[in-house]
Structure 1
Amino acid sequence: MTQSPLAQDIAMGSPVRLQTVSAVGQPEVTPALEELYRGFEQELLVPLWTEIGDLMPAHPRSRAAAHVWRWERLRALAAQAGELVPVGRGGERRAIALANPSLGGRPFATPTLWAAIQYLMPGEDAPEHRHTQHAFRFVVEGEGVWTVVGGDPVPMNRGDFLPQAGWNWHAHHNATSEPMAWIDGLD
């Protein structure tokens, strides 16, 4: 049986490999620095002064491309889904994720933002759930729907922006005679 590269690295000591370099903003290369870096490797530590350029680049390097999703078409497809897809967990609250064309068809608007259209038909209740990500809702159309966060009802109306901290139980209820649509976002 062959080992994965990671398993081989761990068996050899550590997958962390650090190089001392003589450069502006880096510590002077000495035997003591080499010894320090070997200690970091053994404990699976990476000093940020060796990585800062990749961790915090001066300019974003997103693979996402600018794209415009047309509301009229999204709304029509969401209404069609409202007729065909149940809102329960099987329909995952009828969320229709935006897929950035440069991210390989995955359900992400950007590499760090998941966004979707939520569509709640009259009389429907989206099941209570929670997630680790922070969320926001921007109501595009409709009024009189309630989102219930931690047992507290919060009204949702066209134009409202509702941020919500992660890990809070929440559900949505439409007691009106009209559907409601909003943009959901998760970080």
Structure 2
Amino acid sequence: MDMTEIANSPVRLTAVDSPDQPTPSAALEELYRGFEKELLVPLWTEIGDLMPVHPRSKAVPHLWRWENLVALAGEAGHLVPVGRGGERRAIALANPSLGGRPFATPTLWAAIQYLMPGEDAPEHRHTQHAFRFVVEGEGVWTVVGGDPVPMR
């Protein structure tokens, strides 16, 4: 096995004597060097962190009150332009335990968008999925693949 390829690999594996791991042996260490060379990580060495018995999110439960959100969004509607300066006038929910970042949880981004009557938000694309709900108002649509899709 080419030791240079293994030395350049960010994958580092060590056989450990543990009830939930294979019995350490020279053959197992050789297998692990092959994994390192090919940039592979056997999940049996990671399973405790990948699939804990209970969730270990850094997020804490938090309640954003609608009456406060809509009042602040309405004020933003009068002060912040809906164009690129206001980036579609979207206001992200920031979980208090995630350092002020715009995330409701470590894996979920949530925001409200406030549009005044007659306003159009600049078009944009998503690589991630987006779910949209119209909470108040009517006559709203989005465009998907060039086709208008009404939202109610």
TM-score, with normalisation over the residues of structure 2?
0.90
Letter of the 1:138 counterpart: F
Letter of the 1:120 counterpart: L
Cα displacement string for residues 64-110 of structure 1 (whole angstroms, at most 9, x for unaligned residues):
01000010010011011111111112211111000000000000000
Q: Which residue number in structure 2 is paired with residue 13 of structure 1? A: 8
Q: Which residue number in structure 2 is paired with residue 120 of structure 1? A: 115
Q: Looking at secondary structure, tell me which structure has more helix per residue.
A: 2
Matched, 1:150 2:145: yes
Q: Which residue number in structure 2 is paired with residue 110 of structure 1? A: 105
Find 1:42's aligned residue among 34, 37, 40: 37
Counterpart CA distance in 2 for 1:144 and 1:19 is 60
Where structure 1 has 5 or more consecutive residues not aligned to the other structure, the ranges are: 1-9, 158-187
Counterpart CA distance in 2 for 1:83 and 1:150 is 31
Number of aligned residues: 148
Counterpart CA distance in 1 for 2:144 and 2:24 is 55
SS at match of 2:140: strand
RMSD: 1.7
Q: Give the Å deviation of 1:11.
A: 10
TM-score, with normalisation over the residues of structure 1?
0.74
Counterpart CA distance in 2 for 1:54 and 1:130 is 34
Counterpart CA distance in 2 for 1:139 and 1:97 is 16
Q: Which residue number in structure 2 is paired with residue 3 of structure 1? A: none
